[in-house]
Amino acid sequence: MQILQNKKIVLGITGGIAAYKTPELVRRLKDQGADVRVVMTEGAKAFITPLTLQAVSANSVSDSLLDTQAELAMGHIELAKWADLILIAPATADTIARISHGMANDLLTTICLATTAPIAIAPAMNQQMWHAQVTQENITRLSNRQVNIFGPGSGAQACGDIGLGRMLDVSELVELTCQFFSENITRHTQKEQQPDQQILIGQHWVITAGPTREAIDPVRYISNHSSGKMGYAIAEAALQAGAKVTLISGPVTISPPKNCDLIQVDSAQNMHKKALNYSKNATVFVACAAVADYRMANIAEQKIKKSADTMQLNLIKNPDIVADVAALTNKPFTVGFAAETQDIEHYALGKLQRKNLDMIAANNVAAPGQGFNSENNALTVFYADGKYEIPLASKQNVAQQLVSLIQQTYLKQVN
């Protein structure tokens, strides 16, 4: 079955080294039945020729906003209206910045501004550029506008660095594109079958998100790579479904959803106190935060000076937030998260039973293109009746599916 049969895709190619992969990307999209038209920036032509892309796409390649022949038919408007999806791969930091700020100074950015079609970008840049605050702000801005973020992946880069920033492999981009269209069809069908989406009216959801910080001294702390994006996406999805939401958040750089009750904390002990307090009257508790397992036995009152070549920290275990919520007399429906790097199912099922949870969502944070600091995620959800796979998708989409699954399982439990 050709999942992309009759789908019209504008492939935007920008000036990154990963542009050399795009002829293969065009071929694989066409193998799935798509009609592909290529738009190139000037920078892209330094890495791959228009003639090559014309040959593999069987369509002329567009590369100029001021093409007099194309403008006879208002070429950029025609492409903007023609597309079912605009996929930009590779998407450089510069292109991401210009699209996020609504610029239209070349053909590709003009099409993005003029289209009503969905847009997906596959970031490709140096790992430091990807982690730069301004890049993350631009990504957040695009994500809030419902732009799909495919990747980036992690690994060795052309510059010699290792880390996040690589464009996803062609097979992954094709899979995500197919998944995007499949989910849209499913979402449209569900909307027709279930016109009332306010399924959580009258419920109170308490959600933890982000990392915790455990102070070592007044300057340093122990933390982790959690961005808070998954927890914030769950909060947004629950709000959209009609729930009252209390979001207990560790330190993050993203804005909370409108209309949620935001409780900001730093340490695991503080999050523990707030979670127990607010969960006493909650319908559902979702422990999505990446809580530090240990904290300093004694926090130094002054900055610890660098002296010896090694330093030993005396750590003690933090309270188990989700287990203590699940142990409440009138506990809410309690959902845990298991961020693992190996033996995902084994560790997730162990936590589900040991902590008396109603459900646990497990993800492989070592897999490229998902988990910490990514715009995408994939979950395997375990509960009493079995398990449910949520495939790789944007965290917003994953959150919507998870919220729906929680509600269905919760209703079975109370009825």
Please list the active-site residues: 159
Buried b (16+ CB within 10 A) or exposed e, 359-374: bbbbbbbebbbbbbeb
